[in-house]
Amino acid sequence: MEFLAVVALVLLFAASAARAALFIADDTTAPKISGLRVNVDQGRAYYRLSEPAAVEFLLEVRRPGRVVGQNCLPVSPSNRKDRPCSLWLPRETTFRGPGGPGRHSARIPAGQSLSPGAYRLTMTATDPSGNVAAATRRFAQKCVRRLYAYRGTSDERTWRGSDQPRVGAPSSRPWATAARSLPMVSQA
């Protein structure tokens, strides 16, 4: 009797495995990627997937280039007078993110310390059947540090390069500690 139970379990397992293999083989739909966005302040990429997939990201930075023949190449002394183009260079190696269905976020390596410039994040999702989907998002890292300069010996500060004093002295706005904590540049 035990032998028949074991044979029945083996047949049941083989049938379910064949059904699963048949389901995977019939899958010709690529995973859908939606809502890809980048939050530079947090150094994270947010996205949604329609089905389980292996997720890989590539971060590229835009650099000036020159068109030589059909290609965009880095600027060199020999091609500096040629027509300009945008050259996208990988910033670092690819990185991975979670890949189940639903909402996810992935940490961008060195995302909070990106230097100012234009960036492109390419996301590739591959499901277990080998179907591939890709999405690209461009974003910019801007310089957010503001420089103030003292005007004479008073407590008024001005924007660097401006003759007009900034509205409100720092002492009248004690809640503006972030502006006061920045390094000051004295005007000569």
Q: Where are the alpha helices (DSSP H) in the chain?
A: 2-26, 177-180
- Domain total in the chain: 2
Supply the pTM of this predicted model: 0.60
Are residues 82 and 123 both part of a single domain?
A: yes
Instruction: Answer whether residue 179 is part of any domain.
Output: yes
CA distance 125 to 31: 7
Please write the tens of the pLDDT for every residue from 141-155.
887 554 445 445 444
- Residue 169's domain comprises 148-186
Domain membership of residue 166 (yes or no) is yes
Task: Tell me whether residue 43 is in a domain.
Answer: yes
170 shares a domain with 132: no
**Same domain assignment for residues 42 and 126:** yes
**Are 94 and 47 contained in the same domain?**
yes
Q: Note whether residue 1 is domain-resident.
A: no
Q: Could you read off the pLDDT of 92-107 as tens digits, one per residue? A: 778 999 989 999 999 9
Query: What is the separation of C-alpha 19 from the centre of its chain, rounded to a whole number of angstroms?
Result: 38
